[in-house]
Amino acid sequence: MPDPNDDDGWQAKLELALRERVPVASFTFGLPEPAVFAELTAQGICSVVTVTDAGEARAAAEAGAHILCVQGPKAGGHRGTLDSGKVPGEVPLGDLLDRVRDVCALPLIAAGGISTPGEASAALAAGAGAVQVGTLLLLSDEAGTSRVHRGGLIDAVQGRREAETALTRAFSGRPARGLTNDFMRAHPDAPDAYPYINHVTGPLRAAAAAAGNPEAVNLWAGTGFRHAVEDPAPVILRRLFGLAD
């Protein structure tokens, strides 16, 4: 069983980032103490925090974050709620950006379900200074998407498997969005127990991946997964912003 006191080497990682003066340190799943932000600022390191509602945005700004990544409900993978037990909100990304701008003046990055030029333009028009994409790049040439994840996504895009996404805690204990599969359907009431569930399911997921079984691994994907294509990442991003290849 996992050690409940295991912090995944947090202090060592922080010290490394400070020592190397990395340009940007980005945080999700929680909010560091204000002293951490102060240390980063003193070293000229820009800090980014993922938030999912206005309350989290206010807390991150007050703690000393420099930039907020505002994650909407269509995002694939884990929702970046600061409290793992919180049920993620369903406020559309554009409205969420408005609410966040009402409570703080920090620069904003829009994330979550952005997969078309129209969605990117709408996020920028709503006050974001940049957009962040993930699902759109899962099939790109440069992506490190696993073989079973890539295959499951391609099958969904091409209509060979169920093509819906849903939130689940079944794989990690934190809410995350992925393509619906048998494991998710078998565990609809998985509890708020991150990282314990993540450790417990790790060997199961590894075995399923080795066997090429997409029904027992996390096929993380946002609602815009149908726009994922097998192209170089620069081509995909230029297309997203309406630029010629």
Q: Are 74 and 224 in contact (CB under 8 A)?
A: yes
DSSP assignment of 78-133 = E---SSTTSPPP---HHHHHHHHHHH--S-EEEESS--SHHHHHHHHHTT-SEEE-
Please tell me the pTM assigned to this model. Answer: 0.94
Q: What is the pLDDT of residue 197?
A: 95
Q: What is the pLDDT of residue 159?
A: 84
Q: Which helix (H) or strand (E) holds 150?
A: helix 147-157
Give SS3 for 149.
Answer: helix
Q: Distance between the two ends of the chain, CA-based, in angstroms?
A: 50
- Domain 10-133, second-level architecture: Alpha-Beta Barrel (3.20)
Q: Are 131 and 110 in contact (CB under 8 A)?
A: yes
Q: Where are the domains of the chain?
A: 10-133, 147-227
Q: What is the pLDDT of residue 7?
A: 81
Q: What is the pLDDT of residue 3?
A: 65
The tens digit of pLDDT for each residue in 72-85 reads 999 999 999 999 99
Q: Residue 51: phi, psi to the nearest 5? A: -130, 155
Tally of residues, the chain: 245
CA-nearest of 95, 119, 66 to 240 is 119
**Neighbouring C-alpha atoms within 13 Å toward the C-beta of 203:** 4
Distance CA 96, CA 102 (A): 10
Q: What is the pLDDT of residue 161?
A: 78
Q: What is the pLDDT of residue 163?
A: 84
Q: What is the pLDDT of residue 245?
A: 59
Q: What is the pLDDT of residue 80?
A: 95
pLDDT less than 50: residues of the chain: none
Q: What is the pLDDT of residue 36?
A: 97
Distance CA 157, CA 175 (A): 23
Q: Are 222 and 112 in contact (CB under 8 A)?
A: yes
CA-nearest of 133, 35, 32, 177 to 48 is 32
Q: Are 71 and 48 in contact (CB under 8 A)?
A: no
